[in-house]
Amino acid sequence: MPTTQPSLADHVCLAIIGEGRTHGWALVKLLAPDGELGRIWSLSRALTYRSVDHLVELGLATRDAAERRAELAITPAGRRRRRAWLGAPVDHLRDLRTEFLVKVALRERSGLDVDELFEVQLERLRPAIEALTASDEPDHVGRWRRESALAALRFLERS
């Protein structure tokens, strides 16, 4: 029995599948280190196909044949999951560089508003940012965390 919670890889693959009918190799190319999305967050070919298999097992995507190059499509349950994931902020500052940026890119590819996501994300992380920037720890780790939080705040307040 498959796990019920899709991974980050599963969500990214689902979001791409939700853009329109596609196939596994197209996902592999987009998520390769030199691909459009891979420059933000890359995924190996094997893990991409594993995610596709998992999405099919979960009923979030369909594959019209058992072959790897078969066309993939999103299901109604997959559309709901995709919409919720693309609109949800990340929980940790460390996830801005990966999950948040890939969500922004996927939203832009789909013609969805990104300003709303930036606003929701800033509100989610504001308490952590305030706590980290209020601290003036003299050690290297404390200084790194404070500077990272300040950079995140500048990035999220971009509008």
User: pLDDT digits over 92-112, tens only?
Assistant: 999 999 999 999 999 999 999
Looking at the DSSP bridge assignments, the partners of residue 124 are none
Tell me the C-alpha distance between 103 and 97, whole Å.
10
> Which DSSP symbol is given to 98?
I
Top pLDDT among 127 and 3 is at 127
Mean pLDDT of the chain: 93
Say how far residue 93 (Cα) sits from the centre of its chain.
Answer: 14
Average the pLDDT over each of 7-11, 68-72, 80-84, 154-158 and give the range with the smallest value. Answer: 68-72
Tell me the C-alpha distance between 98 and 79, whole Å.
22
What is residue 22's three-state secondary structure? strand
Residue 159 neighbours by CB distance under 10 Å: 8
User: pLDDT digits over 129-138, tens only?
Assistant: 999 999 787 8
State residue 152's pLDDT score: 95
User: pLDDT digits over 25-47, tens only?
Assistant: 999 999 999 999 999 999 999 99
End-to-end Cα distance, the chain: 44
Tell me the C-alpha distance between 13 and 158, whole Å.
28
User: How does 30-65 read in b/e, with b if 16+ C-beta sit within 10 Å?
Assistant: bbbeebebbebbebeeebbbbbbbbbbebebbbbee
User: pLDDT digits over 60-77, tens only?
Assistant: 999 987 655 689 999 999
State residue 67's pLDDT score: 59
Domains in the chain, please, with CATH?
8-88 (1.10.10.10), 115-156 (no CATH)
pLDDT tier, 1 (very low <50, low <70, confident <90, very high otherwise): very low
